[in-house]
Amino acid sequence: MSGIGAEKERGTLAAGARLLRAEWGRWRRAEDQSDTHIAHRILNDQYRRWRQMRQRAKAEVQQNIGLLKQQQKQQTYMQMQRMQMQKRSMARGGYGGYGGGGGASAIVAYRMMQWAQLDMRIGQEEFQHLEVSDSMLAIGRAQLAAVRGRITLGLTLGIPLLWAGLLWLSAPAGLTVAALALLAFTVASWAKARNPRPRRPPVPKLLFTPPKPPAHTELDEETPEPFALAEAGRDPKQVREAVRLAFLKGKHARKVEIGEIGTPSETQYGWEVPLLLKSGSLEDFPPILRDLATPLRVGTGRIMAARVSPDDAADIKLRILTRDPFEHPLPIPVRPPGSCTIRSPFDLGISIEGQTTPVVLAGQHAIVVADTGGGKTALIQRIADFVTACSDAVIVDIDPVKRGLKVFQPLAALTARGPEQADLVLEQLLAEAKRRIASMPPTQNMWEPTPEDPAIIAVLDEFIKLSDDGKEMAIELLRNLGREALISVVIVTQDATKDSLSDAIADVPGLRIMLPCRAHDVPLVVGRADAVSQGWWPHLLVPSPEPDLPADAGRFYVIAPRHREPILRYASLLPPDEAARRVEERLKAPRPRLTLGGHRPTAVVEVPPQVRRLLDAFATHSDPEVLTITELGDYLAAAAPDVYGRWEGKPNRNTMIGRTIKSELKAAGVTVSSERLGDRPGKPFAYRLTDIKGTLS
């Protein structure tokens, strides 16, 4: 039996040796390479050559640009030298003209522009592969076989010579190497006999992403059509396949390369799918997500992406909303009058992960940025509902254009409508901040709110409509005085740019809230140029076009000391009946009293239309100290021609307009004196802006 077993083993080794020789012959003749292997090699060679040519071209362009820059510097230097020589000549009494031309040549600048344009075109050029034909496959296979033939010849001649040399130097070492080689060949033969299937190496990966699948490649294989996510049911494997096919069909999917799609996990809102990127970044995802929504059959804006860890840019999680995560938000807590303190946190809304959003308003400014229909009312009502339930805080309602706090307005300690009233209220708040800071002992860092001296939360809507003085006072509170005096400013705006806020203050408040807004607002509010690439995407939210279509109104992102990650959240609207009930209840209960400088704040009255016209005239001239009757008449004749335009072209125009202004002010119950300007020609009569504003105080 042992003889039969040994014979069988020898037969196995012999068969394995024959298979190894056959495998070596297949490798040498390149028969282990399929047409797909050869096609991928050819395409990769095309891409490498194109990339080398482009790199050489870019290097040559950069070299020429560098030479032109040096030439430009030399010409400029020579011109400066000539100018110095001419100045010295003038000092000696010689000819001092600056003739002679010189300086940086326009031709050099033009050539630099041409080379820069060429560099741009080279950078924008995309690789276009040449389709692989049958003849190219045959040539490619023959070339590979020739290379492998030369390798085989080299090994056939080289290995015996090396062994002979080793044997000549040291016979034991040569015999040891021969024994090890024989042992390795025996093991390989035995293994091959047990696995006689011909070896097929993996197909080389393409080094580029072609716009369409080239012939004879793996990409040329028919890809199944993507299917709706609902058809996957609750099977994670089917969900992963649906996402994979959707990525393959997306026209923007070439911007990123997905290395791995992890196992999806079901959540309360749909699915969370882990992705591992091979190339690209989170910043490339917004257009890709819009592409995915159609094949997956989910709503627009219902696919989001977020970075899992700030330390790994390749680790991404995809959130797919198959149902509204905010369909059943938490109810807004019922707060009896005086039951809260401004130092305690309150909830702004619920996150997509089901968590609350606690924030603290005491000593903290806020900015709320949202387009029309973005849901500002819901957020501002949440703030007003909390502040008016505090025993140590009051709310101030400032809105130069609209209705401000609306249903919560009766609870405001101060209300300002129009730019003039806003200026008066902000002036009082600024004076109160200075008084509080001056009255604090050196050991006290921040104002202590009490029912007698409460914290002040000033909600300032339509910041852009404030006067220049009003904006300066609001910014002074925001940047310097408000926090220490516990006078917080809540700016509500549709535009966070410097042009709208008159200063770069969008990222100054500690509490920053972004509802549906514009893309260029996002980095300004977040305070990072790469905010979009970090996952802050409020610009993808859709504002409500009308009350019956809420869209994404009320959904927001927030930056606060406790919240630094880009997580979608939602603030539900307090029902109008419940809001009215809470306001009525708090109006009947004791509330904190606002005293400014030890006395009740100055009441803000409505500005009569006659006075408003004068203020508007000053505003059109950028609020100068004085305006003459002539200057006022030019504006008033255009604004109210039936009252002030009756004397146009008449010699007594200024006299009649001056009399009409006085009679109009008298009818409004306002007394403002005019004065002669002795320092101007003709000593005209004029009105001072401070006198007009003084009557309103």
- DSSP-derived pairing of the beta strands 569-570 and 455-461: unpaired
Average the pLDDT over each of 308-312, 486-490, 625-629 and give the range with the smallest value: 308-312
| pLDDT (0 to 100) of residue 19 | 80
Residues with Cβ < 8 Å from 646, sequence gap 6 or more?
A: 656
Rounded Cα–Cα distance for residues 29 and 584 (Å): 93
User: Which has more confidence, 174 or 345?
Assistant: 345
User: Which has more confidence, 546 or 149?
Assistant: 149
Q: Which two tokens stand for residue 426?
A: 């902000």
For residue 395, the cross-strand partners are 457
pLDDT at 316 over 80: yes
Q: Which two tokens stand for residue 387?
A: 């502040």
Residue 170 main-chain phi, psi, to 5 deg: -150, 110
Q: In this structure, how many other beta carbons lie within 10 angstroms of the beta carbon of residue 586? A: 20
> What mean pLDDT is predicted for residues 228-249?
85
> What mean pLDDT is predicted for residues 526-554?
82
Q: Which pLDDT band holds residue 558 (cuts at 50, 70, 90)?
A: very high
| pLDDT (0 to 100) of residue 681 | 86
Q: Which two tokens stand for residue 373?
A: 């229909």
Task: Give the model confidence (pLDDT) of 6-41 as tens digits.
Answer: 555 555 778 778 888 888 888 888 888 888 888 888
> What mean pLDDT is predicted for residues 403-426?
87
Task: Give the model confidence (pLDDT) of 378-387 as tens digits.
Answer: 899 999 999 9
Task: Give the model confidence (pLDDT) of 577-586 as tens digits.
Answer: 898 899 889 9
Terminal Cα-to-Cα distance of the chain (whole angstroms):
121
Q: In this structure, how many other beta carbons lie within 10 angstroms of the beta carbon of residue 389? A: 24
Apex CA 415: angle with CA 410 and CA 418, to 5°?
Answer: 130
- DSSP-derived pairing of the beta strands 270-279 and 303-309: unpaired
> What mean pLDDT is predicted for residues 646-656?
87
| pLDDT (0 to 100) of residue 489 | 93
Task: Give the model confidence (pLDDT) of 459-515 as tens digits.
Answer: 998 888 888 888 889 989 988 888 899 999 999 988 877 666 655 677 788 899 999
| pLDDT (0 to 100) of residue 4 | 46
For 428-494, strand residue ranges (E) read 455-461, 487-493
Exposure b/e, 504-539, CB count within 10 A at least 16 = b:
ebbebbbbbbbbbbeeebbbbbbeeeebbbbbbbbb
Rounded Cα–Cα distance for residues 243 and 227 (Å): 9
| pLDDT (0 to 100) of residue 17 | 82
For the chain, give the percent of residues with pLDDT over 70.
90
| pLDDT (0 to 100) of residue 2 | 47
Q: Which pLDDT band holds residue 218 (cuts at 50, 70, 90)?
A: low
> What mean pLDDT is predicted for residues 179-188?
87
| pLDDT (0 to 100) of residue 460 | 92
3-state helix, strand, coil in the chain (%, to 5): 50, 15, 35
| pLDDT (0 to 100) of residue 536 | 87
pLDDT at 605 over 90: no
Task: Give the model confidence (pLDDT) of 81-123 as tens digits.
Answer: 888 888 887 776 655 554 444 555 678 778 888 888 888 888 7
Q: Which pLDDT band holds residue 336 (cuts at 50, 70, 90)?
A: very high
Alpha carbon dihedral 673, 676, 680, 682, in 10-degree steps, equals: 130
**DSSP states along 6-75:** HHHHHHHHHHHHHHHHHHHHHHHTTTT--HHHHHHHHHHHHHHHHHHHHHHHHHHHHHHHHHHHHHHHHH
| pLDDT (0 to 100) of residue 391 | 93
| pLDDT (0 to 100) of residue 385 | 94
Rounded Cα–Cα distance for residues 694 and 605 (Å): 13
Burial of residue 135, with CB atoms counted within 10 A of its CB: 0-12 exposed, 13-18 middle, 19 or more buried: exposed
CB distance 365 to 508 below 8 Å: yes
> Closest Cα partner for 369 from 218, 263, 505?
505
Mean predicted lDDT score pLDDT of the chain: 83
Rounded Cα–Cα distance for residues 630 and 43 (Å): 81
| pLDDT (0 to 100) of residue 95 | 55
Q: Which two tokens stand for residue 551?
A: 């869209």
What Cα–Cα distance (Å) separates residue 346 from each residue in 23, 495, 568, 579?
74, 26, 18, 17
> Closest Cα partner for 618 from 639, 641, 648?
639
Q: Which pLDDT band holds residue 1 (cuts at 50, 70, 90)?
A: very low
> What mean pLDDT is predicted for residues 612-633?
83
| pLDDT (0 to 100) of residue 202 | 80
